[in-house]
Structure 1
């Protein structure tokens, strides 16, 4: 086998050789980075302690509980119409070109509607935008129309069904009552636990005022010379501080609301899973090991083939 590989590396036309090596090496490089990607996520999950919602610290936090809908309009899977707390969907069409055939995506999307995570101490609102989600249910089926016939009532039929199942539908969901593991940025608004950055809020408020410079001059340009001097700017800052402190006092008197959402740090993933932490860690570890195996099976052979080729 080694002799055959050596002969192939030496005698294959340059164009075919480099095309094959680029694909092989590219996949190996992808596997190399994927191994660290999944290993890092597994380590983060293991090293972050699970908190109770009522006593969770502000910042990057891990929660475990169950899903519930927020009072109001229910969330429905767009392909099945089933009530859920989160969904993603994909519609694919089977296409044939000569001897080649493949499934191409014609429509896909995911829910960004808010829902709740609850435990025995309280509840938090989850904003799933930007989350990596592992759902509890994944339905896959086929049909002959752009939209599934079981949910045809809310979609106009494009053409009569001919019995040709050229479409494939995929819908993933998490349902009310499902267990959920969540790790992301935890923020509390309202109540005595609310934390504020006064200097930052003052700067942001003044920046908003600067966008309405005409109004700023009308209110604070006392000598009416068309610009604000140092003393007038000091008045602006005092007014901004006064409004920020009043707003903070108002928030402290409002009911406590907890939020969990995406982070601004790419090294700290926002993960939502319908499965337990231990199962998620096993999945990430397995993916990392498979990626390492893929690297050794493709990346190293690609380097060896290049070395053989260049040695001739």
Structure 2
């Protein structure tokens, strides 16, 4: 049975010019699937575009050559042998000699050497996905970048690296191969370059082989390249079966790279541009390529319900739609993205403001402690006992608790009525004062939850620690109150300041310090955290006070003073205010100059204000005012929110009634 030929292509980090037309040509002329062709041609590595009979692939190769796409049409040579594991090496004038179990393999000086460095744990795809998503979280979607060869090299060394060396003859055919496991060979043959670090010894060995060889190629794309038989499975150190399969895939990858080198020069992967921007239409491809290469998903799963399906579906629509329209949309999207600035860093958390209510509460509590401490110093413990007895027996303590419960319950009832009586406003028509708005939350800053690293508009992190009785107690609470965010409803966008407000987040997660993921629970831990977040894009209900933002920049007075200082340093301009020509500026002349400067700056501001249309989020903010509530709730309906306040108010009022009854009963019994 004849072996199928392979058509391998060099992927593009960005769609080339008239890329959609070329995809349609492949579909109409060669019946290649549009979706698969797009995924195979876009990325940062190598991919198999097609396989089959050579005469059929030659026609596709002709189309690729006509369009200028770098590709290889090869008849792959099956691996004749696997690399032999080395246990030591020796450097001599003739080259490098590797000591294997039962023989020595020599790489003579001036030989062609092909090297493959890979993470056999199969974790490279996960790391790439994590770094890309983290870049999206911190820097925004438009600032995402693909990892370059140097970054891949560093990421591989942090996993379970394995290094293969292939000795090639003049015809680029493999004649020998060795395999290096870091930390499992004697590095004395490296001479002065030998260190105690297994990773450093690996780098030194790579440098040595590159210096000894006539032509050297290093490949680090195993686990990312979409090549047949070269997929890596996720495996830990104890999963010997998966590790064995990954090593076999590494062998097939090395022989395939030798085939490509023999059929044409391969692009060098140890240099070049280390940061490639993700261009229009390339985001989904760059994110999906590692998953597809690792065998985690296939085309059917991708078309099903993968989280990145929205992005891929947009790319597929662009590939299958009208070519001219798709190309125009891509150019417009690229122009739009290139002008979008990155999200700024969130401001530091500001300390809580000391309001008059907090000040009086602190004074009362401190005064009570001082009185109690003075009574203890005066050795009047009997007086303390009498005060405690009479306070409870007379019903004073239950009465105070009843008053507090009544006040707090009435406060919740007042908030419920405020929510019901405040009409919902469109953001575009928000008036100054108490307003009620609904919309989707959008980030103003690159805010990320501290534990789950989720892009969000608000977070509250509570840390708990077990006490002596093995009960959880809150030890600290941190939140993003100082980071404002936007709320938009289709008619406009407005800024929300959550400082001092009641924030009800709908997403709550628990975990432990240093935990990866949020699904593990371990009762033996002595400290845990609870994270409440509002994810970007979540529908929110906001009740608060709309006001104008404080004016930013210099005031009119400051601008006038700056202009007058500049005027003093410009003698030629001062002459026009010297009306009597005596060469000095008197008080009246200086007042005239000041008045002229004020008039010029005032007219300049009016002109700028008329030319620039101020956006609503630039000058209006919804926040908390003294005596006015601020409620930010992640809820689907207003009735659900008012129901919670109603139930809380009823419970507190019932508790207040019961405490008042107990206080009256104790008072009557005390008087009798």
**TM-score above 0.5, yes or no:** yes
Separation (CA, whole Å) in 1 of partners of 2:501 and 2:523: 38
Check the 8 A contact 2:499/2:623 in 1, yes or no.
Answer: yes
Which residue pairs with 2:391 in the alignment? 18
Separation (CA, whole Å) in 2 of partners of 1:188 and 1:252: 18
Select which of 604, 608, 613 maps to 1:250: 608
Separation (CA, whole Å) in 1 of partners of 2:471 and 2:544: 37
Query: Residues 250, 93 of structure 1: CA spacing in aligned structure 2 closer, same or farther, 3 A cutoff?
Result: same
Select which of 175, 181, 190 maps to 2:535: 175
Equivalent residue runs for 1:1-312 within 5 Å:
15-16=388-389, 18-19=391-392, 21-70=395-444, 73=446, 75-96=447-468, 103-111=472-480, 112-141=482-511, 143=512, 147-150=513-516, 164-187=524-547, 243=601, 246-247=604-605, 249-254=607-612, 255-258=614-617, 259-264=620-625, 266-275=626-635, 276-309=637-670, 311-312=671-672
Separation (CA, whole Å) in 1 of partners of 2:421 and 2:596: 44
* Secondary structure of 1:139 counterpart: strand
Check the 8 A contact 2:501/2:624 in 1, yes or no.
Answer: no
Query: Residues 243, 187 of structure 1: CA spacing in aligned structure 2 closer, same or farther, 3 A cutoff?
Result: farther
Q: Deviations over 1:245-278 (max 9, x none)?
A: 64355344333132333243x3321211111322
Which residue pairs with 1:7 in the alignment? none
Q: CA deviation at 1:132?
A: 1.3
Check the 8 A contact 2:496/2:623 in 1, yes or no.
Answer: no
* Secondary structure of 2:627 counterpart: coil
Q: CA deviation at 1:124?
A: 1.5
Check the 8 A contact 2:466/2:473 in 1, yes or no.
Answer: yes
Structure of larger gyration radius: 2
Separation (CA, whole Å) in 2 of partners of 1:48 and 1:235: 52
Query: Residues 135, 151 of structure 1: CA spacing in aligned structure 2 closer, same or farther, 3 A cutoff?
Result: same
Bigger strand share: 1
Which residue pairs with 1:4 in the alignment? none
Separation (CA, whole Å) in 1 of partners of 2:599 and 2:663: 63
Query: Residues 36, 241 of structure 1: CA spacing in aligned structure 2 closer, same or farther, 3 A cutoff?
Result: farther
* Secondary structure of 2:427 counterpart: coil
Separation (CA, whole Å) in 1 of partners of 2:605 and 2:668: 67
Q: CA deviation at 1:289?
A: 0.9
Query: Residues 239, 174 of structure 1: CA spacing in aligned structure 2 closer, same or farther, 3 A cutoff?
Result: same
Check the 8 A contact 1:80/1:151 in 2, yes or no.
Answer: yes
* Secondary structure of 2:452 counterpart: coil
Separation (CA, whole Å) in 2 of partners of 1:303 and 1:239: 74
* Secondary structure of 1:185 counterpart: strand
Separation (CA, whole Å) in 1 of partners of 2:515 and 2:424: 43
Separation (CA, whole Å) in 2 of partners of 1:59 and 1:249: 29
Q: CA deviation at 1:64?
A: 0.7
* Secondary structure of 1:149 counterpart: coil
CA-based RMSD: 3.9
Separation (CA, whole Å) in 1 of partners of 2:547 and 2:600: 24
Higher RCO (CA < 8 A, seq sep 6+): 1
Check the 8 A contact 1:148/1:169 in 2, yes or no.
Answer: no
Q: CA deviation at 1:119?
A: 0.7
Q: CA deviation at 1:303?
A: 3.4
Check the 8 A contact 1:25/1:298 in 2, yes or no.
Answer: yes
Structure 1, unpaired ranges of 5+? 1-11, 153-161, 190-195, 198-203
Query: Residues 118, 17 of structure 1: CA spacing in aligned structure 2 closer, same or farther, 3 A cutoff?
Result: same
* Secondary structure of 1:267 counterpart: coil
Q: Deviations over 1:51-109 (max 9, x none)?
A: 11112223322111111223x62x2211222222211111021112xxx6654433211
Query: Residues 83, 305 of structure 1: CA spacing in aligned structure 2 closer, same or farther, 3 A cutoff?
Result: same
Separation (CA, whole Å) in 1 of partners of 2:596 and 2:409: 53
Output the TM-score relative to the length of structure 2. Answer: 0.34
